[in-house]
Amino acid sequence: MAPKAPAATAQIIMKYLLISLCLLLAACNLSGAPQSVATGPTAYIDPSYPTMESAPVTLMQTSSGIEVRAERAWRDGKQVNVEVCFTLLDASDWSVWSATLQYPGSSILDFGSTLLSLQEPVEGRSGLRCDTLSFLNVPPDADLSSVTVTVDAIAAQPRAEDYCTIYMPKIQQTLGERGIAITLDCADVNGVRTMQILSKPDTMSQEEAEQIVYSDEFYTVKGPWSFTFNLGQ
C-alpha cells in the first residue's frame, strides 16, 4: 500500500489552489471594468443667441412698376429671415436677384431664397410671388435694433425661347435708342425659336455684340425696395 501524504502537505496544496483561483477572478474583474476615455473639448453653444420677430416700419415699397411688400422679419440665432412678396410683370420666372442686410457697422450680401407661394399673372391682374430671404452668419452681438433689408433687383433669367417671345422687341428698341447698329431676328434651331444677331458694325466683334444683346439689364428690374425692422440689440 502506498504511503499517504501528510495532512500538512494537503493543506498547503489546497491553499495554493485557493490563492490561484482568487487571482484569476480578480484578473477577470479588472478586464471587464470600464476604461477611462479621454475626451476633448466640445463646441460651445451660447444659449443667449437672440430670437426675435418684427414687422417692418413700412410695409410696402413701389419702384420701377413693381410693388414689393415685406410681411415680417425674424432673428434666429445667427440667421435673419425676411418674408417678402412682389408683383410679377409677366409669366417669366421672376425672383429676387440681389438683396442686402445692413446694420450699424456692417452689411451682408449673401442670402438664400425659399419660395413660399406663387400666383401666376392672368389677364387684367398681376401675379404675386412670396419668398423667404435668409441672411446667414449674422454675429450674435450685432445691433439689429434698426436693421434694413434692401431688395436691390428682381430678375427673370430667360430661357432660350423667351428671348424671341418676350425680350427681343425690348432689346431691339433699346439698341435703336442708343444708336447701336445691331439687328436681331429669330430662327428655328433644333425646334426652338432662338434669337440671333443678323448684323453688327464691322468694328464690333461677335463677342462684344453678344455681351450687349444678352446683358442682364434686359431681364433685370432694379429697385431699391428697402424695409427697416427692429430685431433687438
At 56-71, the pLDDT tens digits run 888 999 998 899 999 8
Asked if 110 and 92 count as a contact pair (C-beta separation under 8 A), the reply is no
Question: Do 136 and 183 have their domain in common?
Answer: no
pLDDT tens figures, 17-29: 556 555 555 555 5
Q: Is residue 5 a part of any domain in this protein?
A: no
Q: How far apart are CA 198 and CA 178, in angstroms?
A: 18
Question: Do 225 and 151 have their domain in common?
Answer: yes
Question: Do 113 and 206 have their domain in common?
Answer: no
**In sequence order, what DSSP letters do the residues of 120-151 get, joined into one string?**
--BTTB-EEEEEEEEE----TT---TTEEEEE
Dihedral (CA of 94, 196, 172, 209) sign: positive
Asked if 80 and 135 count as a contact pair (C-beta separation under 8 A), the reply is yes
Q: How are strands ordered across the β-sheet holding 106-108?
A: 106-108, 94-103, 147-156, 220-229
Question: Do 120 and 225 have their domain in common?
Answer: yes
Q: Is residue 91 a part of any domain in this protein?
A: yes
Q: Is residue 116 a part of any domain in this protein?
A: yes
Please give the average per-residue pLDDT across 40-50, as a whole number: 47
Q: Comparing 67 with 90, which gets the higher pLDDT?
A: 67
The Cβ-side half-sphere exposure at 173, using a 13 Å CA radius, reads 6
Q: Is residue 12 a part of any domain in this protein?
A: no
Report the number of distinct structural domains present in the chain: 2
Is the pTM higher than 0.95? no
Instruction: Specify the pLDDT at position 43.
Output: 35
CATH number, domain with residue 152: 2.60.40.1630
* Helix 168-177 / helix 206-213 crossing angle, nearest 10 deg: 110
Q: Is residue 30 a part of any domain in this protein?
A: no
- For 152, the domain range is 51-157+221-229
Q: Is residue 6 a part of any domain in this protein?
A: no
Question: Do 148 and 209 have their domain in common?
Answer: no
pLDDT tens figures, 140-193: 888 999 999 999 999 988 887 888 888 899 899 999 999 999 999 998 888 888
> What is the three-state SS of 72-98?
EEEEECCEEEEEEEEEECCCCCEEEEE
